[in-house]
Structures are given as structure tokens and as C-alpha cells.
Structure 1
Amino acid sequence: MHSTYDVIVVGAGHAGCEAATAAATMGSSVLLITMNMHTIAQMSCNPAMGGVAKGQIVREIDALGGQSGIISDKTMIQFRMLNRSKGPAMWSPRCQSDRVMFAQEWRDTLERTMNVDFWQDTVSEIIVKDDRVRGVKTSLGVTISGKSVVLTNGTFLNGQMFIGEKTFGGGRTGERSATGLTEQLVSLGFETGRMKTGTPPRVDGRSLNFSRMEEQMGDENPGKFSYSDTAALTKQRSCWITYTDESVHNVLKEGFEKSPMFTGRIKGLGPRYCPSIEDKINRFADKDRHQIFVEPEGWNTVEVYVNGFSTSLPEEVQHRALQKIAGFEKAKMFRPGYAVEYDFFPPTQLKPTLETIKVANLFFAGQINGTTGYEEAACQGLIAGINAHQNVHEKEPFTVKRSEGYVGVLIDDLITKGTEEPYRMFTSRAEFRTLLRQDNADLRLTEMGHKLGLASDERWANTKAKQVSIDRLTQLFRETKLRPEEVNDWLVNRESAPLREKSTVYSLLKRPEIETADALTLLEMASTAAENELQSYAKETVEQAVIELKYDDYLSRERQNAEKLSRWESLEIAPIFDFDNVKALSFEGREKLKKLRPRTIGQATRISGVSPSDISILLVYMGR
């Protein structure tokens, strides 16, 4: 190994893998330390990537030059674009992944990445001198020097696992917890808390009766995550849907007295948006059934993931309840579900770069920050890895604004508002979600990735060419006109008002009853020349051009609001600003500002407890 590394990444989950590849690709020497080389990029929970808002994050990671999108494309077994019935801002790509292939592809990628070294061990201590990180110490007694350290410990910090009345140390089934690090960080002045998460049982697909379930097939023309030349799926595996009922709930209730959640043995905060099955029954007592997604774990395995049945009840209760579900009457269980409780560090202790405020060049990413989900972890790892490299090489810090990406929304939410439950991304968290669509992540972020040295020259050239095509198509839609006799019958069939005079394709696309996919039909009716020209463009490019035209009023409004926000963000608050000197501030506002130390007026406006009048007072005090 090197005597000193530019970046030491602790943990090889989704955050750690993105951090290591980013820093190494940018030119830093990187050491990736993991407890087990055979569980790199393990999908500890469901074998899937993307979903509502999460799919947008994966596309943003890809646009910046990260790897999660590429690896998802190479290892998916099914692809679906969710929310197609809603507006384009809600469309979200999701794939079912091959669990084993996903982890192997990540390891192959890391091993192909120059500048990445590996060390199998557990980090028990970070070395800090003069409030700056200097390296790490491991449980084997090895001291490794590093100019920066990225902690991506996942659920392993003092991890405790629960199955019924059984409790044992661990951050994941079959793997021990990491101890000592939390205590040291607390001694350095960091605040800490406890959170919990869980996972459902895995079952033998050969023992299931799929004829009693609803088949959920992938898209007829499957898409992908990466903007690169990864191949689209040519074959897919189906998922399935079934439901619990009162008989299932009654069996589960028998085990409540042994549930670690109800007996109070689990103290940590759980994910509100992904509750355990016992929590669903308790919180939604009025519902007589709950949906269960039956998801295959890969191409060449019979193992099935029972999504929606996360539980920490005794294993015999889990098995009896499973066999009451339609299609699961003869189900054989590979392993039971369990809950895991672990330490996290409130993310208000971080800068926008994910560097800690208390210790220079120490970064936190992933579940250590109180988030949940592979995608949320991966994007944090990418940002932390980028900034670890930037710090070490004395370059400008890198951040993504709220108006530029879901990545920016996530990090700003974390460092400004903190979180009292595992943070999960939703489209509703983004005030500019019409701008932050999954289809345009490359146009928003590839230039940034290229400047950092992550996105290749070829990727940037392709993005610029795509923008030229969109501009040309936009012009084509604005210029192409239709006569009433060409289109009126079609409009009437679509329950849309007929034309009285010539009209452009653009104006027709503005009608709410005319869908994005209708652009092709309109051009075909207009002229052969326009239709022929359209055939030379990629389907995604045509779709994006139509979206930009159809929603340009909304997009224009959002861009104006984003510009206003940008002005607030440009008003910086000095790190040494003394809020106690501003006597007119409310007591709560002053205390929150002193604790969270916002870097800009924009960030201050998003702090709970800081009122509009507090902001006005600050602006007056700052001479604004």
C-alpha cells in the first residue's frame, strides 16, 4: 500500500463505491476499506434500483459521471418507467436487478479503476490532529495515513439485529457490527442518534403458486438509466403482486407480544414510508389487506424477495403468516426477515460538500447521515468522493443546487433541516421538479461532470449534440402547420376542438388532451418532409423536445423562481457572523441560526423556526 492515501473510503456499499471511483477517476490515490471483500455493493434490501424520485437520482449520478446507472443497466432483469399516466415530472425509471451480478459488476468496475487499492478490515478509529483527519486505525491494529477520509458505514455502527426475542450484534445478516468509531466521534463533539431499518424474508420461488398472483411485466420497449451506450434489455423477468388479508394479519398479531418494535427493545427511528408489516397492521387498522410485491432476485436463482413484508417478528410467526398469503400456501423460507438498529449522525453537522464542520477533510455519506435507500446513498458517496479529491488537491468545492438536481435537494434538506427519521427522496421534496425531470439530467449536469474530469469528452460531445437536435426539433414543431381538413377528424376523435384555420404543431401540443406521444402523429399528418426528418432523431430526443414545448409556460415560471432562489443563495453569511448581535431576531430563530450556521440567506430561509421576519432583519443588518 501507499504510505499515505489522498482519500480513504470506509465501507464498500453504494456510497463507498461511488466515492472511491469518483475520487480515483479524478486522479486521487484511494484506499477502499471494507469488512468483507465478498459483499462489495451488496443489495442488502430489495434487488432494485430507481423508483419515484430515486430513478431521477440514478440518472443524475450517471450524468455527473458516476457508475450506478451503468451498472444497473448491465445487471437489470426488468425495466419499468413508473407514473407514465402522470406528467413528465413524475416519470421515474425503475429496474429489477440481479443481486449477484450487480455486486460483481461493481467489484469488477472498482478493480478496473486505476488508483483504487483495497483493504479488508474494520476501521475502529480515525486519526485526528489539530481538528484535521490524518488517517485511520483498524481492528487489526494497522495505522493507515490519509489526507481525507470518507465514512460510509451504512447500518454497521453499533449495529444490533432483531428477530423476535432474539438480539445479536450485526449490521447485516451474517456480518458483524462496527464498534468504537461512534464513541470516538462523540468524544470529538459529534451528536449521534439511533435509527432502524428492516428487511423481509426471502423465499424459494419453486414453492410459490404464481397462478394465484397478478403478473407485473416490464415495459414493452424497456428503457435504461445511463446516457452512455449501454445495451437495452432484450428479455425480461416478470414480478408478481399479491395481497395480505385478515387471516395473515391475525397470525402476525399473535407475535406482537414478542415483537422488538412493540416491546420497546428497538429505540431507533424507523422509515415512515417503508414500514414493517406489523407496523402497517398497527397504524392502518382500517385496512383489511396490504399489497405484496413478489420480486425475483436474479436470472439464475429461485430466491424471491417479498417486498412489502418487512418484519422482525419471530421466524415461526413469519413463516405461518406467509403461508396464509395467496400463492404462498406452500412457501419455503430461505431466511427470515429482521430489523437492524444502528448509529447515525444528524447531518446538520455537515457542510454542503458533506465534509464535517468539526473535523476538516472528514466526510460522511449514506446511512450514517440518516438516509435510506441505495440511490440516496450513492449520490452522497459521489459528492463526498468528489469533494474529498477537491479538498486534497486544493480545488474549488463542488455542490449541486436545489434548482439543478435532486442530488442538491437531498443534500440541502439534510444539512439544513436534518432528519428525525430515515430520509427518503420523493418528487414532492423538489420545488422545481418540472425542471428536474429524469429525461434531462444529462443536459443539466453533464457539463459539470465533464469539468470535474468524471464525464468523458465523448459523453459531453453527445450531450451537446443532443441539445442541438432538441433545438432543431423545437423549431420544426413551431414552423410546421396543419390545415383544418388534415387534422380535424383526428382532433374530434380525441375530444379536442377542431381548427378553423391553419395551426402549428406547437400550438396543438399545448392542448392538455393532446399527449406527448401525439407529436409524431401530428407531423405525419402535416407533411412527409417533416415526418422524414423526424425519423433521424432518437426517440428520447423527440420526447424531450415535445416535453419542453408542451410545458414551456410551467418551465419558464420555474426557471424564474429558480433565479430568485439563486439570488438568495448568492447572499453569503460569513462563517464568523455573530447572530447574538442581531437583537431583533426571534429567540428561536437566533438559536437555530447559531446551531446550524447557514452559509447563505437562501439556506437560512429553509431552516425550520427561522421566520420571514428573521430573514428581513438579517437582510437589513447585512445592508441588503
Structure 2
Amino acid sequence: MYPKYDVIVVGAGHAGCEAANAAAKMGSKVLLITMNMNTIAQMSCNPAMGGVAKGQIVREIDALGGMSGIISDKSMIQFRMLNKSKGPAMWSPRTQNDRMRFAEEWRLALERNPNVDFWQEMVTGITYKDGKATGVKTGMGIEFEAKAVILTSGTFLNGVIHIGEKQFGGGRTGEHAAKGITEQLVQLGFEAGRMKTGTPPRVDGRSLDYSKMEEQKGDEQPEKFSFSNETTPLKEQRSCFITYTNPEVHETLEKGFDRSPMFNGRIQGIGPRYCPSIEDKINRFAERNRHQIFVEPEGWETVEIYVNGFSTSLPEDIQYEAIRKIEGFENVRMFRPGYAIEYDYFPPTQLGLTLETKLVENLFFAGQINGTTGYEEAACQGLVAGINAHRKIQDEEKFTLSRSEAYIGVLIDDLINKGTNEPYRMFTSRAEHRILLRQDNADLRLTERGYNIGLATEERLAQTKEKQRQLNLLINDLHQKKVDPDLANPMLESHQTAAIQHRTTLNKLVKRPQLEIMNLREINEELATYFDKYDRQIIEAADIHIKYEDY
């Protein structure tokens, strides 16, 4: 009665959406099962994509032919390139996003693909035969057949939400936990563990006094994530704001520590080290009298605000009392309190590089089920699992990325070889090849690989090859063109860098930390006209290449 599928994806978060899109785009007939069709691609925590190391991952997903970059661009309300004060290998793109538009764009993208079907229900287990996954079974007793199954269950496996002394089952506020999958997999021989994450309160932006906060605007010349021509940079942006906690806030929060599930032993799961709750920060860094709070709008049209830096599972009355003592929040109205959530995960050492499980063939795991934290980390795993599920059932070669090819390769290699006992987050410091794995060259590194497996389009490949051609031409010219001291020195002095004594090639000037290619336009009209031929993206890529070429 029900159709048979090539791939079934369980869960429609960031990992599930990328997995379904990739497998379907490559030709598999996909069924995406979610507990709620209205929460596809929900930004469960902060309304933002990218950031340090994470922005590089979004660009890599885009270069391979995934959708996270395009969806982020279509829903962004602000763009910032982080770490600009550091070397170019550290530059990391980040967008503030419209939460509702992000989810809408993902759903539209999936609905446009005729190879994707949807089903709204809870999955309670997998079906299997002779050590191979053969489909899934649902709470209503329906069995869907498939050649491969991808579990992208997020925080829903036996999820428990904590707010002070209150606790209740749920995978996200207002949504049920998923029961049955963990128990079945443990019976099959899988090892399971428990992790925790948290989210801050959401508040009414109309009740805040922004005059008491520091405005954080987007970049003056905003860029975008996707290398494709499908999206364009923002013409207008929404600001975020910065404020701080204070000793009075901390004292109020401490009053609730005896009712905190973190301190009274009710929460057993391990939380993310690099995204601690406000009570954890106060407890661990008692010497600090303030902590930074980022005030982030949830979209273009909504007044809802995400209070970044104030993640908490303290009782709601304590949350309300404490948040009102933050500067600018004196009259705040809370929409919903923060909470912590505990959930099951499966140590990722039980997987191979394709994210297929070692115990059950044709069963793949992606996202928080593998012990990671973050939208971007989940999305890239979903992409890799979707690609490999399709290739496995087509008897095609495995698709893997090495540590020297991509941050995605670093992440998966770390997970399956080292495992993790705390929520794993990507950092530039984890990648020993980070000078090569930059955000500006993800397309040059990966688009051809995406094209070869049928994911990136021919148009994207042609665009990448043209970028490489222009880049090579510009770099070659910079190595060949020379400039005389009398022409170059006025420009060099104006940028407070040493004058030259002899005729010098332009690339040697670009290597100087005080200079970039666009400064060479100041030398004379001829050079200004020459550089005007090139797109800003090409100039920036050439600039970075020349600064790093000796390494």
C-alpha cells in the first residue's frame, strides 16, 4: 500500500534536511519523516548561522552542492565576517537570520524536489533483516520500506526538559520526545549515552531600552555564504545589541541554585563546554562581575528577541527576576523561559567515515545523535550521510573528505576516531590544515568533488573554473608586474610601511601585513583601471593566496 523508498530520513532538522536534499538531488526516492510538518528546519536555539569555523563549514556545504548556505542567504537579516582582526585563515562568515523565513525557505526547497515525500508521525524503531536496515516503523504501526535509513533525531531521543524543579518529556519546548528508538538500538548492541544542552529565554523587543546598550551593526560591505548566483548580499540589515550582566544579576541567579537541576543532580547529561549556561558561568568564573549578553532579533517582522549568553535552566521566577536587572532589560516582558534538555546520543566511534553504522548496514546517523552541537555541524553530517546513503544503494564508491580537504573531514574524522563525551563543536584550532581550509576557497577545494558525485551543478562547476582562471591570471600578473620606488613610495608611506629602494614586483608589496591588493590602486591610474576589471571576491582571494603562499 505504501510506496517503497530508496532512503528514509528520520527527523527534519538541519541534518535531516541536508540528508534528504542530497540523496534526492542525486536521484534517490526519499521519504522525510518528521513529528511535525510545521517545524521543518527549525532554528531551535539561536537565529544565526556560521561563526568561527562554523562559517567555513557552511561554505563547504554550499561548495559541495548542499543548501544551508543558500537558505541562510535567503533568510539573513545581518551579515558579519568575524575575526577580521586576525589572519585570513581565521575569517569566519556569520549571518543573523529570520527564524521563520529560514524554516520556510528550507521547506520550499524540499517541496520543489519531486524526489522528496513527507510523512508526519513519530518513528519508534527501524526494521532490519540479515544485519541490514530495511525501513522504519511508526507509532501508528505503519512500516515504511527503504534500502537505507538515516537517523537525524536531534535532541528528541528520550528528551527531558528541565526548568528549575519542573521536568517533563519533550524534544523541544511544546513537542513530544521520541520513544523506542534508543531502546531498540541498545538491544541490537549499540552503546548509548546522555547529553544536555540549553537555551535562553525569549523576550519582547518592545520592552527593551536599546539606548542603554551597545549597537552591533552588520558589515558595511556585507557578503553572503553561497558561491552561487542564486542569492545576493543584503541591501539593508538589522542590528544586534550588546549589554552585560552585573553583580546584582548574579546574586539573584544564585538564589535559585538550590532549585537548579544542574546543581542538585537532576541533570546527568554532559553539557556543551563552549556554550555554558549563565549559572554555570557564574559558578565557574566567580571572580568575574559581568558576562556579555547579545541581544539578537529573531527576524525582520517579529518583536521576539533571543537573549544570547543567558542560557539557563533555573526556575522561571528566578529567570524573570534576574533578567530585569540587566541594563536595558529593566522593564522586560518574557515570552518564554530558558530551559535545559537532556537527550540520548550514540558515541560516534560506532560509525565509519561515511556515517554508516558498523553494527547495522545501510543505517546512517547524522547530527546530535552523534554527540555534536550546532546547526552547521549537524547540517554537514546530514549532507555526508545523504550522499553516502544514495551511493551505497547504487553500489558506488564511498564519499569521504580528508582532514586536509575540509573542516567537514576534520569533524567526521574526530568523531569516529576520537569519539566525544561532551557535545562536540568545531573550532579552527581543531584543523591542522586551517591555513588551507579557508572560507574564501571552499568552492575551489570542493565544488568539483560535488559535481563529480552529481550534487553540484554544471553551472556551479563552470563558475568555479572561471573563478580559478581569473584568480590564476591575477596572481600571475602580480608576480610579473613591477613598480618603481618613486611611484610606490608615496602609497607605502601613507600606509606606514617601509619605502622600497629598487623596482619591485607587486606581489612582494601585497605580502606586507599593512597592505592589500586594493591599496595598489593608489599607485597610479593604470593600476586602478587594471584592478577594476576584477570582482571583489577574486581580488580578496588573490590577496589571501599571496599572503599565505610561502607557507
Q: 2:145 — aligned with what?
A: 145
Please state if 1:522 is matched with 2:520: yes
Instruction: Return the offset for 1:2.
Output: 5.2
Q: CA 1:491 to 1:533, structure 2 compared with 1: closer, same or farther past 3 Å?
A: closer
Q: 2:154 — aligned with what?
A: 154
Between the aligned partners of 2:222 and 2:522, the Cα distance in structure 1 is 25
Which residue identity does 2:498 align to in structure 1?
A
Which residue identity does 1:254 align to in structure 2?
K
Q: 1:603 — aligned with what?
A: none
* CA offsets 1:514-545 (integer angstroms, 9 cap, x no match): 333xx1222441x5444323212110111101
Instruction: Return the offset for 1:412.
Output: 0.3
* Pairing of 1:246-265 with structure 2 (within 5 A): 246-265=247-266
Q: 1:26 — aligned with what?
A: 26
Q: 2:272 — aligned with what?
A: 271
Between the aligned partners of 2:496 and 2:64, the Cα distance in structure 1 is 43
- Cα contact 2:49–2:72 (8 A) shared by 1: yes
* CA offsets 1:465-491 (integer angstroms, 9 cap, x no match): 000000000011112211111122332
Instruction: Return the offset for 1:499.
Output: 1.1
* Pairing of 1:63-142 with structure 2 (within 5 A): 63-142=63-142
- Cα contact 1:25–1:114 (8 A) shared by 2: no
Which residue identity does 2:441 align to in structure 1?
N
- Cα contact 2:495–2:515 (8 A) shared by 1: no
Instruction: Return the offset for 1:422.
Output: 0.2
Secondary structure of the residue aligned to 1:438 is coil
Please state if 1:4 is matched with 2:1: no
Between the aligned partners of 2:12 and 2:467, the Cα distance in structure 1 is 35
- Cα contact 1:243–1:292 (8 A) shared by 2: yes
Which residue identity does 2:133 align to in structure 1?
V
Which residue identity does 1:483 align to in structure 2?
D
Secondary structure of the residue aligned to 2:155 is coil
Secondary structure of the residue aligned to 1:6 is strand
Q: Report the TM-score when normalising by structure 1.
A: 0.87
Between the aligned partners of 1:330 and 1:511, the Cα distance in structure 2 is 51
Please state if 1:418 is matched with 2:415: no
Which residue identity does 1:269 align to in structure 2?
I
- Cα contact 1:505–1:523 (8 A) shared by 2: no
Instruction: Return the offset for 1:454.
Output: 1.0
Give the counterpart of 1:551 among 527, 532, 548.
548
Which residue identity does 2:471 align to in structure 1?
I
Q: 1:52 — aligned with what?
A: 52
Higher helix share: 1
Between the aligned partners of 1:353 and 1:52, the Cα distance in structure 2 is 25
- Cα contact 1:127–1:136 (8 A) shared by 2: yes
Instruction: Return the offset for 1:404.
Output: 0.5
Between the aligned partners of 1:248 and 1:336, the Cα distance in structure 2 is 16
Which residue identity does 1:221 align to in structure 2?
Q
- Cα contact 2:201–2:310 (8 A) shared by 1: yes
Please state if 1:388 is matched with 2:385: no
Q: Which has the higher contact order (CA 8 A, sep 6+)?
A: 2
* Pairing of 1:392-471 with structure 2 (within 5 A): 392-471=393-472
Structure 1 spans left out of the alignment, 5+ residues: 555-624
- Cα contact 2:509–2:515 (8 A) shared by 1: no
Please state if 1:379 is matched with 2:376: no
- Cα contact 1:480–1:523 (8 A) shared by 2: no
Which residue identity does 1:212 align to in structure 2?
K
Which residue identity does 2:74 align to in structure 1?
K
Secondary structure of the residue aligned to 2:194 is strand
* Pairing of 1:154-303 with structure 2 (within 5 A): 154-229=154-229, 230-303=231-304
Which residue identity does 1:434 align to in structure 2?
I
* CA offsets 1:188-247 (integer angstroms, 9 cap, x no match): 110010000000000000100000000000001110000011111011100000000000
Runs of at least 4 residues of structure 1 off by over 4 A? none
Instruction: Return the offset for 1:118.
Output: 0.4
Which residue identity does 1:482 align to in structure 2?
V
Structure 2 spans left out of the alignment, 5+ residues: none
* CA offsets 1:122-166 (integer angstroms, 9 cap, x no match): 110101111100111000110111100000000000000000000
* CA offsets 1:521-572 (integer angstroms, 9 cap, x no match): 22441x5444323212110111101111121011xxxxxxxxxxxxxxxxxx
Q: How many residue pairs get matched?
A: 550
Q: Report the TM-score when normalising by structure 2.
A: 0.99
* CA offsets 1:490-516 (integer angstroms, 9 cap, x no match): 32333322111111111112223x333
Between the aligned partners of 2:512 and 2:298, the Cα distance in structure 1 is 43
Q: 1:578 — aligned with what?
A: none
Which residue identity does 1:499 align to in structure 2?
I
Between the aligned partners of 1:78 and 1:2, the Cα distance in structure 2 is 44
What do you get for the CA RMSD once the two structures are aligned?
0.9
* Pairing of 1:290-369 with structure 2 (within 5 A): 290-369=291-370
Secondary structure of the residue aligned to 1:135 is strand
Which residue identity does 2:466 align to in structure 1?
A
Identity of aligned residues (%): 67
Instruction: Return the offset for 1:100.
Output: 0.4
Instruction: Return the offset for 1:258.
Output: 0.2
- Cα contact 2:491–2:522 (8 A) shared by 1: no
